[in-house]
Amino acid sequence: MKYAKRMNHIKASEIREILKITENPEVISFAGGLPAPELFPIEEIKRINEIVLEEDGQKALQYTTTEGYQPLRAWIANRMKKRLQTSFDADKILITHGSQQALDLSGKVFLDEGDYVVCESPTYLAAISAFKMYGAKFIEIDCDDTGMDMDALEEQLKQNQKIKYIYVIPDFQNPTGRTWSLEKRKRIAQLSNMYDVPIIEDNPYGELRFEGEYLPSIASFDKKGTCIVTGTFSKTYCPGYRIGWVAANSDLIKQYVLVKQGSDLQCNTMSQLAIAKFVELYDLDAHIQTITKVYKRRRDLAVQTMHQAFPKNVHFTEPEGGLFAWVELPEHINARDVLDTCLASNIAFVPGGSFFPNGGHENTFRINFSNMSEDRIVEGLTKLGDILNQFV
Amino acid sequence: MKYAKRMNHIKASEIREILKITENPEVISFAGGLPAPELFPIEEIKRINEIVLEEDGQKALQYTTTEGYQPLRAWIANRMKKRLQTSFDADKILITHGSQQALDLSGKVFLDEGDYVVCESPTYLAAISAFKMYGAKFIEIDCDDTGMDMDALEEQLKQNQKIKYIYVIPDFQNPTGRTWSLEKRKRIAQLSNMYDVPIIEDNPYGELRFEGEYLPSIASFDKKGTCIVTGTFSKTYCPGYRIGWVAANSDLIKQYVLVKQGSDLQCNTMSQLAIAKFVELYDLDAHIQTITKVYKRRRDLAVQTMHQAFPKNVHFTEPEGGLFAWVELPEHINARDVLDTCLASNIAFVPGGSFFPNGGHENTFRINFSNMSEDRIVEGLTKLGDILNQFV
């Protein structure tokens, strides 16, 4: 019995493995990217399920088209127009099994063994694994609080013919929490158009803004149809339904539909109808406001506690939204060693090394602030500060 | 912008395209593999959804492990032991997005560009597309009413080192409706063990037996852990939930979990909890009996009508279960021409050519008998017989 070559360089997601540890309720977990379950609109979902099954039960439980449920696609298109200033219509949208599947399908559509993906340094861990399965190599571009270094990006686009796409998360990035400036959004769209290299703009957190103005998406500056956008209901509604999407120009979305057909035929019909009914009958914006209010308080407490408890030579981001902050330790400290000590005190986070596809940067880690209650955030980060003080 | 090489040889599933035509309610469709929606246990599902959200709402809507919901995996393991005489425990089972995803993941785990898959001739169309995406070539083995030609299979296993696995559907095969004999099940398990070439035993229809005895699965004769089994709730419960599974030995299932992580993290949590609750509170066997009773009547009527209406030189299978029968026309007739004439009379089926990965056999087509009412089956197949009489 012989596996495919790709299996030699695939390893278990460190996050999914740490999540198993954090199933122990005593652990204060800053790992994972879990939304706060106490905010799920359970009563509303109960009612919605009943209505959908009452009105349209046979349809809700049957197969549907690969593209997905038309009213949901139409709602998404409108939402994107309003929030991201894009111009994708419903027929340019494919419903996917979370935005994670949109990443997997992107690999399938674009990547041959040895092709290059350009990404932010660091970038989303599970995007790295998804793309690696199709044999991708990675070019990491340095980032600051305004986004990618655009000159470094252009240099790469000029010299490397095997770059298949650029993968970015411009809003409240995972893992850093950073948000790109308007100028860099315009510029990267231009570069993508000029060099005819697609951008995959992953946007799972954009709706979770605590302060400041929503920024238009990179795709809103696209003149030639080279920008692809992914989205999800995991953070604004619930992750358990696994409903996300990918938006792209007509020819591109056809390719995505083709590979989706072979991968799993279609997404959960019932969940698609249920979300469409929810956004019809309830005010999603009000629900998102409820979520962001809670997350903002948690972010505030997390940042405040880190300022108080962390050693002065430890640096961290202060994100304007999303779920994550990013911590940089002095270079000689390995965050995996810190994690070992923390786990013994029932505190968990994700070491940062895994977020760099080409390795290194072991002195970093990611903090999730959305999933724990306020007192546990303070308690956990205070303890974490004590432990960090033993290391610096 | 440049796609991956695989996109050159992927085309839209003929079935999914025909399904779009059959959304017109005037069409009598023998295409698709749709279960009868009037048999979905809608009232029970309504109640189950309420209970699950009441008892365990936060959990049902949150992320869960990649492997899937433990009580559901345990139920599946027991069911397989009872029905298929396998010995997989719960920890050898991964929940997948329908059994289609189990096929896609199989390609990901095993296939490098240019590897060979051995399959029945003909075989399941969407398995062909799933495996082709990973660069598979196909060796088709002739079949009769007892299954694959075992000597031809052994000949291939002896001489071809690049065979990665054997893909078979031994119960009420898609597209032919045929079921393998006990002897051939034993023999192929031996061959798989002897040549160390895994079998992927796809079993979406096995529960839908209209008469005769359930046969043990190929995997029940496996002595060395080379048999992999896939299953689904799509035909016994509802397809809209997209919940299936793959069962395999410990090392293998770990590989499947790894590729599932990168593909879409996990399956729909709510749907997993809901199915687990359904099989706990209701009698799935009674529900399957209800389904098979209806399908048996439809199969009887379909076979009877084909005997009456089809020309004598047209041959067809008379399956003991499942959803499909297979029709062979005289060699000079192209089923796609017949389909064109049929569509003009609002009758649809799937031409057989697509079920042969290496092409040919255009004189065949597939009939689904599960989805139309009794009178429409008689009406449609009678008209189809009239049209066939114009061709022979």
Q: How confident is the model at residue A234 (pLDDT cuts 50, 70, 90)?
A: very high
- Partner-chain contact A58 B42, CB within 8 Å: yes
Helix (H) / strand (E) element for A118: namely: strand A116-121
Tens digit of pLDDT for each residue in A27-48?
A: 999 998 889 999 999 999 999 9
- Partner-chain contact A97 B97, CB within 8 Å: yes
Residues 6+ apart with CB under 8 A from B55: none
Q: Is residue B118 part of a domain?
A: yes
- What is the interface size between A and B, counted as CB pairs within 8 Å? 244
Question: Looking at the structure, do residues A167 and A243 belong to the same domain, yes or no?
Answer: yes
Residue A61 has its nearest CB partner, among B10, B40, B134, at B40
B99 lies in which domain range?
58-281
Q: Is residue A51 part of a domain?
A: no
Average pLDDT, chain A: 96
Would you state the pLDDT for residue A347? 96
Mean pLDDT of B227-240: 97
Mean pLDDT of A245-250: 98
Residue A57 has its nearest CB partner, among B40, B57, B111, at B40
Q: Is residue B51 part of a domain?
A: no
SS3 B94: strand
Question: Looking at the structure, do residues B89 and B237 belong to the same domain, yes or no?
Answer: yes
**Residue that is last in its domain, among A281, A304, A336:** A281
Mutation for B interface: A104, A267, A268, most B CBs within 10 A:
A268
Question: Looking at the structure, do residues B315 and B258 belong to the same domain, yes or no?
Answer: no
DSSP secondary structure letters along A215-270: PPPGGGG-SSS-EEEEEESTTTT-GGG--EEEE--HHHHHHHHHHHHHHHSS--HH
Touching B: A residues 174-233, CB under 8 Å: 196-198, 226
Would you state the pLDDT for residue A217? 98
Average pLDDT, chain B: 96
Would you state the pLDDT for residue A21? 79
Question: Looking at the structure, do residues A197 and A168 belong to the same domain, yes or no?
Answer: yes
Q: Domain count of chain A? A: 2
- Partner-chain contact A109 B259, CB within 8 Å: no
- Partner-chain contact A133 B3, CB within 8 Å: no
Residue of B nearest to A56 (CA): B42
Q: How confident is the model at residue A104 (pLDDT cuts 50, 70, 90)?
A: very high
Confidence check: pLDDT of A201 > 90: yes
Tens digit of pLDDT for each residue in B80-128?
A: 999 999 999 999 999 999 999 999 999 999 999 999 999 999 999 999 9
- Partner-chain contact A37 B98, CB within 8 Å: no
Distances (CA, A) of B200 to A247, B70, B111, B170: 34, 23, 13, 10
Give the type of residue at B370. Answer: S
**Residue that is last in its domain, among A231, A249, A281:** A281
Tens digit of pLDDT for each residue in B118-151?
A: 999 999 999 999 999 999 999 999 999 999 999 9
Would you state the pLDDT for residue A13? 72
Show residues of chain B in contact with A109, CB under 8 Å: 3-4, 7
Tens digit of pLDDT for each residue in B258-275?
A: 999 999 999 999 999 999
- Partner-chain contact B241 A61, CB within 8 Å: yes
Q: How confident is the model at residue B58 (pLDDT cuts 50, 70, 90)?
A: very high
Show residues of chain A in contact with B197, CB under 8 Å: 1
Question: Looking at the structure, do residues A182 and A63 belong to the same domain, yes or no?
Answer: yes
A269 touches chain B (CB under 8 A): yes
Would you state the pLDDT for residue B46? 97
Q: How far apart are CA B40 and CA A15, in angstroms?
A: 38
Question: Looking at the structure, do residues A341 and A220 belong to the same domain, yes or no?
Answer: no
Tens digit of pLDDT for each residue in A66-90?
A: 999 999 999 999 999 999 999 999 9
Shortest Cα distance, chain B CAs vs residue A378, angstroms: 23
Would you state the pLDDT for residue B12? 73
Q: Is residue B50 part of a domain?
A: no
Confidence check: pLDDT of A17 > 80: no
Q: How confident is the model at residue B160 (pLDDT cuts 50, 70, 90)?
A: very high
Q: How confident is the model at residue A284 (pLDDT cuts 50, 70, 90)?
A: very high
Confidence check: pLDDT of B16 > 80: no
Question: Looking at the structure, do residues B24 and B166 belong to the same domain, yes or no?
Answer: no
